[in-house]
Amino acid sequence: MFHLTHQERKILIGIGILLVLGAGVRMFKVNSIFGKSEEIKAVIEKRVDINKACLEELIIIPSIGEKTAQRILKYRENKGIFKNPEELLAVKGIGEKKLEIIRRHIVIK
């Protein structure tokens, strides 16, 4: 069998403890993230009407933070309703890439 010194045994036990703790933390993170993603997914599957959405509803849209949501609301207040998704390009902070992400999660009525 193996002949380990006292210090080597301590190191192996320490590594074992770290592995168990790491696995526990990973499981906790996956479970908590999974729970939140299900809530978010349920909300996002219902597309957000950007002409009626409030700040909180806009923030739920992927790639839309609080500042961008405020800019959308300000644009809507100043210019009126959006007639098509491309009009979002006039909002500061929304470019072509972000629009492509947003497009799947919005509706314009």
The mean per-residue pLDDT over the stretch 93-106 comes to 94
Mean pLDDT for the stretch of residues 60-80: 95
Residue 64 domain-assigned? Answer: yes
53 and 98 together in one domain: yes
User: Could you give the CA distance from residue 22 to residue 16 in angstroms, rounded to a whole number?
Assistant: 10
Look up the domain containing 79 and give its range: 47-107
Which tokens belong to 65? Answer: 């933070």
Instruction: Please check whether residues 70 and 100 belong to one and the same domain.
Output: yes
* Number of separate domains in the chain: 2
Both 96 and 59 in one domain: the answer is: yes
pLDDT at 11 over 70: yes
Tell whether 1 is covered by a domain: no
The set of residues, in sequence order, having a beta carbon less than 8 Å from that of 36 and lying 6+ positions away, is: none
The answer, as to whether pTM is greater than 0.75, is no
Q: Based on the domain organization, do 39 and 53 belong to the same domain?
A: no
Same domain, 60 and 83: yes
57 pLDDT above the threshold of 70: yes
